[in-house]
Amino acid sequence: MSAQPRPQEPEARLLTEAVTRLRRALRSSIRTDYPWETLPMAQVELLQVLGEHSPVRITDLATRRRLAPSTVSGLIAQMITAGLVAREVDPTDRRASVVTLTAAGREQLTAWTTAHERRIDTALAALDAPSRTAIAQALPALFRLAENLGEQADDTTQA
C-alpha cells in the first residue's frame, strides 16, 4: 500500500477550509436573502452546463459533472417536471435523446447567477482594497488549481 503524499501545510488545509466556508456561507446566505431559491445545487450545476452546452446527451452531462448517468437521469427527470429542461430527439442520432434548457430554465439560471453575484459583490465591497486586490489577483491561480484537480480526477477514473 503506497503512502499518500501529505498535503502542504498549512496551504492545502487552509484552502480546503476557506473553500468549504465560502460554499457554506454562500449557500446559507442565498436561501436567507432569496427564499425563492430552492433548487438543489446538483440541479443548478446541470443548468450551468446546459447554459453553456445545450443540447447535450445525459451521458455527456454525467461526464462533465463527474456523476453517474443514473443520477443525472433522475435529476433531469425532476427538472423536466419543473419545466426547467426538455428532452428531445438527438438530431445527429434519432435513436438517442438530448436535453435542452427551456426558457424557464434559462430564466431560473439567470436569476440564480444574478442573486449569487449580487451577494458576492456585497461581501467584496465590505472588504478593504488590499483584500479585494488579493482576491482578484488569486483568481487565475484558483482557476488553474480547479483545472489541475479536474485532471487528477480524470487520471483516477481512467486508471
List Cα–Cα distances, 17 to 11, 22, 87, 107, 125, in angstroms.
10, 9, 39, 32, 22
Lowest mean pLDDT among 40-49, 55-64, 145-154: 145-154
Q: Grid coordinates representing 98?
A: 438530448
Predicted confidence (pLDDT) per residue in 70-114, tens digit: 999 999 999 999 999 999 988 888 888 899 999 999 998 888 888
Residue 7 scores a pLDDT above 80? no
For 72-127, give the DSSP string: HHHHHHHHHHTTSEEEEEETTEEEEEEEEE-HHHHHHHHHHHHHHHHHHHHHHHTS
pLDDT at 72: 92
Cα 27–chain centre separation = 12
Share of the chain above pLDDT 90, in %: 44
Given pLDDT bands bounded at 50, 70 and 90, which one contains residue 36? low
Q: Grid coordinates representing 116?
A: 449569487
Q: Which residue, 148, 91, 111, 96, is CA-closest to 33?
A: 111
Q: What residues have CB less than 8 Å from 146, skipping those under 6 apart?
A: none
Q: Grid coordinates representing 95?
A: 435513436
pLDDT at 1: 44
Q: How far apart are CA 50 and CA 44, in angstroms?
A: 10
* Mean pLDDT of all residues belonging to the chain: 85
pTM for this predicted structure: 0.74
Q: Which residue, 103, 17, 107, 99, is CA-closest to 62?
A: 99
